[in-house]
Amino acid sequence: MSRKAHGQIRRGQVITTYGPGALIDLPRHSAIVGGLENWPKPGDLEEVVEPRLTRKLQLMTGVAAPRLFAPPPDSNDPRESARGIVAWRFPEWFVVQETGASEDRERSRRLVHRKALDDKGRFDGRQVVATRFVRACPKGHVDDLDWRRFVHGRKDTGVEDHCRRQLWLDERGTSGDLADLVVRCECGRSRGLYEASAIEMNPLGTCRGARPWLGGHSNEDCKLPSRLLIRTASNAYFPQVVSVLSLPDRGTAVETAVRELWDDLQIVEDAAQLGFLKKKPKVAEKLAPFADPEVVAAIREIKDGREGERPVKQVELEAILAAPEGFGDDVPVDPDFHARRLPDRAWRHSTRCEGIEAVIQLHRLREILALIGFTRFEAVTPDINGEYETDVERAEIAIEPQWFPAVENRGEGIFVQLCESAVSKWLGRSSVAERIDGLVTGHNLWMADRKAKRFFPGGPYVLLHTLSHLLIHSIAMRCGYPASSIRERIYADAPAGRFGILLYTGSPDAEGTLGGLVQEARHLENHLLQALRMAALCSNDPICAQHTPGSSIEKRWLHGAACHGCALVAETSCEMRNDYLDRALVVPVVGAPDAAFFEAAP
Predicted TM-score (pTM) of this structure: 0.82
pLDDT tens-digit series, residues 550-589: 776 778 889 999 999 999 999 889 998 899 999 999 999 9
Q: At what angle do helices 253-260 and 292-303 cross, to 10 degrees?
A: 70
Note the pLDDT tens digit of each residue in 216-240: 888 899 989 999 999 888 889 999 9
Residues 151-177 have pLDDT tens digits of: 887 544 444 567 888 899 888 877 778
Average pLDDT over every residue of 343-358: 90
Contacts of 101 (CB under 8 A, 6+ apart): 107
Q: Which of 141-150, 290-299, 416-425 has the lowest mean pLDDT?
A: 290-299
Q: What pLDDT is recorded for position 510?
A: 62
Task: Please list, in sequence order, all residues whose beta carbon lies within 8 angstroms of the beta carbon of residue 553, skipping any fewer than 6 positions away.
Answer: none
DSSP string, 523-589: GHHHHHHHHHHHHHS-TTTTTTTT--GGG-TT--TTBSS--TTTT---TTT-SSTT-SB-GGGTS-B
- Say whether pLDDT at 308 is over 60: no
Closest CA to 247 of 421, 471, 52: 52
Q: What percent of the chain has pLDDT over 70?
A: 91
Residue 307 confidence (pLDDT) above 60: no
**What confidence tier does 507 reach under pLDDT thresholds 50, 70, 90?**
confident
Looking at residue 496, its amino acid is A
> Cα–chain-centroid distance for residue 487?
12
Q: How many residues comprise the chain?
A: 602
Query: What's the gap between Cα 379 and its chain centre?
Result: 9
pLDDT, tens digit, 9 for 90 and up, residues 368-379: 999 999 999 888
Q: Which carries the bigger pLDDT value, residue 4 or residue 407?
A: 407
Kindly give the pairing relationship between strand 498-507 and strand 487-493: antiparallel
Asked whether 24 and 31 are in contact (CB, 8 A), the reply is yes
| Average pLDDT of the chain to the nearest whole number | 86
What per-residue confidence (pLDDT) applies to 563? 93
Question: Which residues, other chains included, contact 124 with Cβ-Cβ below 8 Å and sequence gap of 6+?
Answer: 96
Burial class from Cβ neighbours inside 10 Å (0-12, 13-18, 19+) for residue 277 reads middle
Q: Please state, in angstroms and rounded to a whole number, the distance separating the CA atoms of residues 541 and 536.
A: 10
Top-confidence range, 4-8, 116-120, 201-205, 502-506 = 502-506
* pLDDT of res. 304: 67
pLDDT of residue 342: 94
Q: What is the mean pLDDT of residues 42-67?
A: 87
Classify residue 550 by burial, with Cβ atoms within 10 Å: 0-12, 13-18, 19+.
middle
Q: d(Cα 428, Cα 272) in Å, to the nearest integer? A: 55
Distance CA 587, CA 582 (A): 9
Residue 103 pLDDT class (50, 70, 90 cuts):
low
* pLDDT, tens digit, 9 for 90 and up, residues 457-504: 999 999 999 999 999 999 999 988 899 999 999 999 998 899 999 999
The string over 352-377, giving b where at least 16 C-beta atoms fall within 10 Å of a residue's C-beta and e elsewhere, is bbebbbbbbbbbbbbbbbbbbbbbbe
pLDDT digits (tens, 9 = 90+) for 556-566: 889 999 999 99
SS (H, E, C) 304-349: CCCCCCCCHHHHHHHHHHCCCECCCCCCCCCCCEEEEECCHHHHCC
Asked whether the predicted pLDDT for residue 253 surpasses 70, the reply is: no
pLDDT exceeds 70 at position 102: no
Residue 1 pLDDT > 70, yes or no?
no
Alpha carbon distance 361, 340 (integer Å): 5
Structure confidence by residue, pLDDT tens digits, 379-433: 887 777 777 765 557 899 999 999 999 999 999 999 999 999 999 999 999 999 9
Q: Which pLDDT band, with edges at 50, 70 and 90, does 201 fall under? A: confident
DSSP-H helix ranges across 86-235:
147-152
Give the integer Cα–Cα distance in Å for 482 and 134. 36
358-361 long-range Cβ contacts below 8 angstroms, 24+ apart: 358/416, 358/417, 359/414, 359/415, 359/416, 359/417, 359/521, 359/524, 360/320, 360/321, 360/323, 360/414, 360/415, 360/416, 360/417, 360/521, 361/327, 361/328, 361/412, 361/414, 361/415, 361/518, 361/521
Helix, strand, coil percentages (3-state) for the chain, rounded to 5, are 30, 20, 50
